[in-house]
Structure 1
Amino acid sequence: MQALTLPLLLMLCLFVVSIATSNAKEQSKPNIIILLADDLGYGEIQHLNPEGGKIPTPNLDALAQSGITFTDAHSASSVCTPTRYALLTGRYAWRTRLQKGVLTGGESLITGDRLTLAKMLKSQGYHTNMIGKWHLGMLFDDKHDKSEHVAIGTKVTEGPIDKGGFDQFFGFHHARQMNLLIKNQQVSEKITPVQMLPRLTQAAVSYIDSRKHSKQPFFLYIPWNSPHSPVKPSKAWQGKSGLNEHADFVMQTDNSTGQVIDALRRNNLLDNTIIISSADNGSSEKTSNAPELIAKGHYPSAHLRGYKSDAWDGGHRVPFFVSWPKEIFANSTSNQLVSLNDIFTTLSDLLGVNLANDVAEDSISFLPLLIGDDNDSQKAVVRNNAIHHSISGHFAMRQGPWKLILASGSGGWSKPKKDKANTVQLYNIDSDPGEQHNLADTMAEKVTELTLLLQSQVDAGRSTPGTKQHNDVAVNIFKN
């Protein structure tokens, strides 16, 4: 064998060092898990509602205590589909064709040319997996979206693989199709709704177990089916809460979260995994049977007014915890305004990804709130305004302590849906978090100021600094 020359030996050494450095960088990237409950109100978690929360949530409480709790965090909408769109794209869904309500089927709300969170993370070397509820449009056999006669083996399009950009998918489309389990791009099984949460939990745990020896970081998005209707806790959880079935289902959701965390711990992955836990909107007053819960001392929306669907904070202020034992101080709290659509830019900021002007137009990084000094009062404000949206398409504008609602009532299902005495609502959230004292008549200038701010962000096609973008359709902020 011919002896290596000195230059060749040096080149070989540099190559080895380069590979080692590259592997070290790859391994140093944190794993990322996003847990998204379905219809879980701000007051459902005892950590957030110690006096008025009667449902035991030990795993979510422990997760919150292991990292940072955001007390003023909001979903992008008070219902499902638009929140999920904003989380995965960093863009408000009312900029698309979906101006109110949710999707049930058809083509995905996410267009093929839209950069998603999964696509961005894949470009940074992540393996991406989604386990749970999609609810962003889906077709079976490329031609219909009805599940009644769909056979096992049917091809699925417009879903997490082709439109979301995920490497893997195991789950279902939406609550009325919880009889169909989909694996990647094919219907794989027919099950009953009560089986869904255990199957999703099992799949999530198995996936984490499979990553134990992998050097590739992973992104695991787990949008649970629970505690959304059909409210179907497993037999082992029925009656556990002593309150009602919804409360039992919340307890089971908490247990599923605990199983995911236990899997990370036993595989020595917990320390360098970012876990984000939140919900798509507030509790449903109807399916949670909120009056029954309140009579027993449990307040699903805590001190907030309203429920799922509403423009009031009970519709869209949600539990929001971020844990990363390697970097985030335990038992931290932030009172700063944040939104679920901010997850996109926060993670791109963390990984040093420069986003194009037409990406994540409504996403603001809250990375400075996660790392460094754990004193929230010493940290600069990262977001001073946010736009809220109700199921009926009514807009609300939040800036600092002020909140303007361009609706006379709830904007959703809660009563009063309309209030003849008011055309708009203005609240000081700091002094009146329950939104009981409408100041619109006495503070007309503030109403005008917030209306103009809202209109400017709608017209700009973005709510962040950057080149003007375009909404997909015309957007009217003054809905009747």
Structure 2
Amino acid sequence: ANAHLKITDARYKKESAERVAAVGRNIDFTRAVRGGPIEHGFDYYFGVDVPNFPPYLWIENDKTVGIPSVPKPKNMYGTPGPMLPGWKLEDILVGLGNKAVEWINEQSKQDKPFFLYLPLTSPHTPIAPSKSFQGKSGITLYGDFVMETDWVVGQVMQALKESGQAKNTLIIFSADNGTAVPANFEELESKGVDLRHNFKGRKCQIQEGGHRVPFVARWPARIKAGSICKQTICMNDFMATVADILDVSLPKNSAEDSTSILKLLTGEATELPNHPSVVNHSLGGQFAIRKGKWKLIPKPRVQLFDLDADPKESKNLASTHPRIVQEMTETLEKYKRDGRSTTR
């Protein structure tokens, strides 16, 4: 897609938020980094490219912080490539957290709305908890990394509290996919930890274990603590939701698969009957479509599951519900033809 022609979250949020920033993982090292967050509307960026791929260094705004003048050591996790001297994988997560806190503190002095996108590098590979967290879980390094993630989120929330904006700030904690193989499912399960919660599959696969993720929202001014919603949603819905919160209109050619879930968050509704079907795909290009309790995987073998009764996807009901298979297949094909699932 021609990304420069599309509206982005950052450019759109700037209509109502004075400052927007991204802190996380995002290259002639003396020149500006092209195609990064700054070119897409963010006022500030700090982070890495991808933690397990070169170059191994920090990027601030659209410039690298230093020159990666040495090769990555063979015993360090990741793809071979240039590295900043002294670079340590276990310092990345803490560095991102510290920079996020620093930015929040700066914004709190200005008394203006702000938006922070904080895509943490944990618990993605490399599984690299800092020394102070190594061994802390008593389970595995992955467990330690998850604990450190929790601590970093706590630091960010504490900064918001100290800024006086915690009550009026919407915090969303989620993930982009299910758990990956490097987490070592077998070792964790032998110690009583089931990351997949009995779901089939993992990251990159079409089964529920590859797509079900936590979604936790905190907004004391508008969300009732402890409330639970069972409506199927997708991270695509974030953009339309923020537009709803800010009371601004989205252009017709944007947010093609985004529906506002504001009423679900605030408790004004427990379900959205008109929410489009949710589409997932695997790394290999396999598609699935979800509507209510039904999930259809049309290829290479037609599979239909009732996720309410069978969340483990063990009973294929395609042969006994041909009408549902046909309706969901037609919906998926329509989305493909239209290039979107929403109407606006």
Quickly say closer, same or farther: Cα 1:177–1:406, change in 2 above 3 A.
Answer: farther
Structure 1 residues 330-339 or 172-181, which shifts more? 172-181
Task: Deviation per CA, 1:425-460: give whole Å up to 9, x if none.
Answer: 110011111111111233233222211110011111
1:249 is matched with 145
1:111 aligns to 2:3 (yes or no):
yes
| Alpha-carbon distance between aligned partners in 2 of 1:302 and 1:187, rounded to the nearest angstrom | 40
Deviation at 1:276, TM superposition (A): 0.7
Deviations 1:343-372 (A, max 9, x none): 000000111111111010110000111225
* 1:394 equivalent among 286, 291, 295: 286
- 1:206 to 2:102 alignment: yes
- For residues 185 and 345 of structure 1, the distance between their equivalents in structure 2, rounded to whole angstroms, comes to 28
Contact 1:365–1:382 (CA under 8 A) maintained in structure 2 = no
Within 2, Cα distance between the matches of 1:382 and 1:264? 35
CA RMSD in angstroms comes to 1.6
Kindly tell me: are residues 203 and 382 of structure 1, through their superposed partners in 2, closer, same or farther at Cα, counting changes over 3 Å? farther
Which of the numbers 59, 82, 91 marks the counterpart of 1:182?
59
Aligned to 1:49: none
Query: Aligned pair 1:349/2:244, yes or no?
Result: yes
What's the secondary structure of 1:449's corresponding residue?
helix
Instruction: Show CA shifts across 1:236-287 (max 9, x none).
Output: 1111111111111111111100100011111211011110110010110x21
Q: 1:338 deviation in Å?
A: 0.7
> How big is the shift at 1:154?
4.1
Alpha carbons 2:16, 2:113 under 8 Å: kept: no
Q: What are the within-5 Å matches in structure 2 for residues 32-181 of structure 1?
A: 96=1, 111-134=3-26, 140-141=27-28, 151=29, 153-162=30-39, 164-175=40-51, 176-177=53-54, 179-181=56-58
- Structure 2 equivalent of residue 217 of structure 1: 113
* 1:309-458 → structure 2 map (5 Å cutoff): 309-373=204-268, 376=270, 379-381=271-273, 383-408=275-300, 423-458=301-336
Q: Name the CA shift for 1:259/1:368 in 2 (closer, same or farther; >3 Å).
A: same
| Structure 1 residue aligned with 2:165 | 269
Contact 2:91-2:130 within 8 A present in 1 as well = yes
Which 4+ stretches in 1 moved above 4 angstroms?
Answer: none
Q: Distance in 1 between matches of 2:22 and 2:142?
A: 25
Q: Aligned pair in 2 of structure 1 residues 444, 381: CA closer, same or farther (>3 Å)? A: closer
Equivalent residue letter for 1:207:
W
CA contact (8 A) 1:201 1:256 kept: yes
What amino acid does structure 2 have at the position aligned with 1:326?
Answer: A
Whether the 8 Å contact between 2:231 and 2:272 is mirrored in structure 1 is no
**CA displacement at 1:178 relative to structure 2:** 6.6
CA distance in 2, matches of 1:327, 1:178: 42
Match of 2:188 in 1: 293
Conserved 8 A contact 2:206-2:281: yes
1:220 is paired with a residue whose SS is strand
Counterpart Cα distance in 1 of 2:235 and 2:33: 27
User: Take 1:168 and 1:431, find their aligned partners in 2: how far apart are those partners?
Assistant: 46
**Aligned partners of 2:273 and 2:183: how far apart in 1?**
35
- Which structure carries more relative contact order (alpha carbon 8 Å, separation 6+)? 1
Q: Distance in 2 between matches of 1:220 and 1:125?
A: 10
Residue 127 of structure 2: aligned partner = 231
CA shift at 1:384, angstroms? Answer: 4.9
Task: Give the structure 2 partner of residue 465 of structure 1.
Answer: 343
Per-residue displacement from partner, 1:199-252 (whole Å, max 9, x unpaired)?
101100111111222122100000001111111111111111111111111111
Shift of 1:407: 3.8
Q: How far apart, in 1, do the equivalents of 2:245 and 2:294 lie?
A: 30
> How many matched pairs?
324
CA contact (8 A) 2:17 2:115 kept: no
Structure 2 portions without partners, runs of 5+: 67-83
Q: Secondary structure at the match of 1:298?
A: coil
Q: Give me the TM-score of the superposition, normalised by structure 2.
A: 0.90
Letter in 1 for 2:242: L
Gaps of 5+ in 1: 1-95, 97-109, 135-139, 142-150, 409-422, 467-480
Q: SS in structure 2 opposite 1:219?
A: strand
Show the counterpart of 2:73: none
Q: Is the 8 A contact 2:276 2:342 kept in 1?
A: no
Matched letter for residue 169 of structure 1: Y
Code of the residue aligned with 1:234 in structure 2: it is: S
In the TM superposition, what whole-angstrom CA distance separates every residue of 1:164-202 from its partner, at most 9, and x where no partner exists?
Answer: 211100011213137221000000143221111011011
- Structure 1 residue 392, shift from structure 2 partner: 0.7
Aligned residues with identical type, % of pairs = 39
Give the aligned residue type for 2:4: G
Contact 1:337 1:384 (C-alpha < 8 Å) held by counterparts: no
Greater Rg by CA: 1
Verify the 8 A CA contact 1:131 1:171 in the aligned structure 2: yes
